[in-house]
Amino acid sequence: MTRFHGVMSVTLVGIAIGIALWVLVPVAWGWAAGYIALCGVGMGAILYAYCAKCPCKQCCAHVLPGMIAGRFPRKPGPYSTAEQVAVVVVLLLILGLPQLWLWRNVTAGFVFWALTAIAATQILAFICGRCPNIHCPVGKMRGGEGARGSGGDKVTR
């Protein structure tokens, strides 16, 4: 069931980004191309800075990000402040930048945020609680040190 939520959350974020592009392309295709590039580079940065250091990438509930992250030769360990800031900045850009044009289409803006909220809820409710990554700051914020839920084995490799 965790993989369902992992794959679904990635899919929902992808659809939300697609909606943002659907609204932007007719207005400014050049900006849309830039947003696509930002999403690609940004997701690559997240995969490198965050996912590649996760000791659980071989069994990642998100599946595809874990497979891609496995290609980066990074050792699991604590996340640096720079890595955490990079992930937050990239997410803010990917989710925040579309607001410049989504506010003109209330329905698309609502659907964008509804899909994003559902994806975030799935991640926090069904994935983080079962992820054994003891270095993850999101898992620590949620009250644990990584492994909670299925099995309780902490992964520190």
* Residue 152 included in any domain: no
* Residue 10 included in any domain: yes
In this predicted model, what pLDDT tens digit does every residue of 35-71 receive, in sequence order?
999 999 999 999 999 899 988 888 888 888 889 988 9
* Residue 136 included in any domain: no
Residue type, 145: E
Q: Is the pLDDT of residue 147 over 70?
A: no
**Is-contact 148 129, C-beta < 8 A?**
yes
pLDDT value of position 32: 95
Instruction: Tell me what the mean pLDDT of segment 10-23 comes to.
Output: 96
* Residue 48 included in any domain: yes
Instruction: Tell me what the mean pLDDT of segment 7-35 comes to.
Output: 95
Q: Is the pLDDT of residue 148 over 90?
A: no
* Residue 139 included in any domain: no
Structural domain span for residue 35: 2-130
What is the Cα 35 distance to its own chain's centre? 16
Residue 151's pLDDT band, with cuts at 50, 70 and 90, is very low
* Residue 157 included in any domain: no
> Structure pTM?
0.83
Q: Is the pLDDT of residue 155 over 60?
A: no
* Residue 114 included in any domain: yes
Q: Which residue has the higher pLDDT, 151 or 108?
A: 108
* Residue 150 included in any domain: no
**Best-predicted range by mean pLDDT (2-11, 102-111, 129-138):** 102-111
**Is-contact 71 47, C-beta < 8 A?**
no
Q: Return d(Cα 85, Cα 1) in angstroms, integer.
A: 30
pLDDT value of position 6: 87
Instruction: Tell me what the mean pLDDT of segment 85-100 comes to.
Output: 94
* Overall domain count for the chain: 1
Residue 89's pLDDT band, with cuts at 50, 70 and 90, is very high
Count CB atoms within 10 A of the CB of residue 40. 10
